């Protein structure tokens, strides 16, 4: 299921066993993720060239990591326009999951000034 309403990040942490960010390639993650606001359990990108690299303190995995957590209730946090692709790929590995577009995470944008949301300020880069 794709979540289509605003939801507090705290609610996601309470409801799901695992929070997984999906998609590094378009630099959305690098530009918008701030590990000080909420933490992810895993970060996935379909591009195998990124596997094993670190960004904002998160090791990037490929979709095979989902086989290890297949029995968990998972929330995939994605950036706009990749929801269908994520749903198709994730359903090959896990059954119990939801998808939310990062912009719908309540509290993230309003809890700090906009400029502090940029991950580059915490000196994150793809290593």
Mean pLDDT of the chain: 76
In sequence order, the β-bridge partners of residue 6 are none
What are the structural domains, with CATH classification, of the chain?
2-113 (3.40.50)
Mean pLDDT, range 69-84, rounded to an integer: 89
From residue 11, how far is each of 15, 19, 30, 58, 118 by CA, in Å? Answer: 6, 11, 24, 22, 23
Each residue's pLDDT tens digit, 79-118: 877 888 899 999 999 999 999 887 767 654 433 334 334 4
Contact yes or no for 107/7 (Cβ under 8 A): no
Q: What percent of the chain has pLDDT over 90?
A: 31
pTM above 0.85, yes or no: no
């Amino acid at each position: 299921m794709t979540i289509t309403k605003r939801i507090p990040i705290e609610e996601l942490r309470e409801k799901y066993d695992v929070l997984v960010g999906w998609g590094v390639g378009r630099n959305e993650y690098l530009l918008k993720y701030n590990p000080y606001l909420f933490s992810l359990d895993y970060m996935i990108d379909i591009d195998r060239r990124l596997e094993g690299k670190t960004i904002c303190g998160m090791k990037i995995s490929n979709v095979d990591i989902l086989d290890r957590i297949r029995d968990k209730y998972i929330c995939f946090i994605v950036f706009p326009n990749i929801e269908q692709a994520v749903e198709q790929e994730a359903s090959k590995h896990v059954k119990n999951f939801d998808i939310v577009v990062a912009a719908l995470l309540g509290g993230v944008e309003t809890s700090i000034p906009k400029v502090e949301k940029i991950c580059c300020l915490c000196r994150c880069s793809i290593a």
